[in-house]
Amino acid sequence: MSDLAARRRTGVLAALLAVAMIGLAYAAVPLYRMFCETTGFGGTTGRALALPDAGALRGAAGRTIKIRFDSNTAAGIAWRFQPKVNDVAVKIGEKNLAFFTATNLAATPTSGQAGFNVSPDVAGAYFKKIECFCFTLQTLKPGETVQMPVTFFVDPAILKDPIASKIDEITLSYTFYPVDNPPAEAVSAAATQQPNRG
In the structure, what pLDDT confidence band is assigned to residue 41 with cuts at 50, 70 and 90?
Answer: very low
Q: Within 13 Å, how many C-alpha atoms sit on residue 84's CB side?
A: 15
pLDDT of 186 > 70? The answer is no
Count of domains observed in the chain: 2
pLDDT of 80 > 50? The answer is yes
CA dihedral angle for residue 36, residue 42, residue 47, residue 51, rounded to 10 degrees: 130
In the structure, what pLDDT confidence band is assigned to residue 192 with cuts at 50, 70 and 90?
Answer: very low
pLDDT at 55: 57
pLDDT of 194 > 80? The answer is no
Total-model pTM: 0.68
Higher pLDDT, 174 or 188: 174
pLDDT at 139: 96
DSSP state of 53: P
pLDDT of 31 > 80? The answer is no
Higher pLDDT, 31 or 46: 46
Cβ proximity of 166 and 119 under 8 Å: no
Are both 22 and 62 inside the same structural domain? no
- Give residues with Cβ within 8 angstroms of 73, minimum separation 6: 79, 80, 81, 112, 175, 176
Instruction: Quick: pLDDT tens for 86-108.
Output: 999 999 989 999 999 999 999 99
Are both 53 and 73 inside the same structural domain? yes
What CATH code is carried by the domain that includes residue 162? 2.60.370.10
Residue 142, domain extent: 42-195
Are both 52 and 125 inside the same structural domain? yes
d(CA 51, CA 48): 7
d(CA 60, CA 74): 37
Are both 46 and 82 inside the same structural domain? yes
d(CA 67, CA 95): 13
